[in-house]
Structures are given as structure tokens and as C-alpha cells.
Amino acid sequence: MAGPAKALPAIDPERCTGCGRCVGACPPHVLWLEAPDPRGWGPKHAVLHDAPGCTGCAKCWVVCPFDAIAMLRPPGP
């Protein structure tokens, strides 16, 4: 079993358009599109919903055409 990811995606909601490319590229499926309204209405943006499940592969960062994702090291213990 691999250890925790060395870097996690940090998504800038100001730059994210909600296109979903990062969600589709995520092998462990830990990114979701989320809307401000609980019924799913309104502009969507990507959110990391399962940080412990993230492998840190950075495929989301690679496919984002809007530079909305930065791969950041999580804070140490």
C-alpha cells in the first residue's frame, strides 16, 4: 500500500470554470463538481472531496486548461 500523497490538488474557485476535465482524469475519483445550491443549480467548480484517497498523480493538474489547479504539499505532522 502506498503512503499518503506527496502533493494534493488545490483548486482556485476563481479560475475554475467547472469544465470537469479534472474530474474525468482523476483515477481514484476523489474530485467532484460542486454547485453552491444544494440542488445542483448555479455555476459549478471542482472540489477535492477525499484528500486521503488522493494519490497525488497530478493528472488533474495536467489536463486543466485554466491553470486552476496547483499541486501543493500537505502540511507536515
- Per-residue pLDDT band for 77 (boundaries 50, 70, 90) equals low
**Comparison of pLDDT for 4 and 65, the residue scoring more:** 65
The candidate with the shortest Cα–Cα distance to 46, out of 28, 24, 62, 72, is: 24
What does the pLDDT look like over 1-31, one tens digit per residue?
A: 456 789 999 999 999 999 999 999 999 999 9
Structural domain boundaries of the chain? 13-68
Grid coordinates representing 6? Answer: 506527496
What pTM was computed for the model? 0.86
Indicate the CATH number for domain 13-68: 3.30.70.20
| Calpha distance 52→55 (Å, rounded) | 8
- Per-residue pLDDT band for 75 (boundaries 50, 70, 90) equals confident
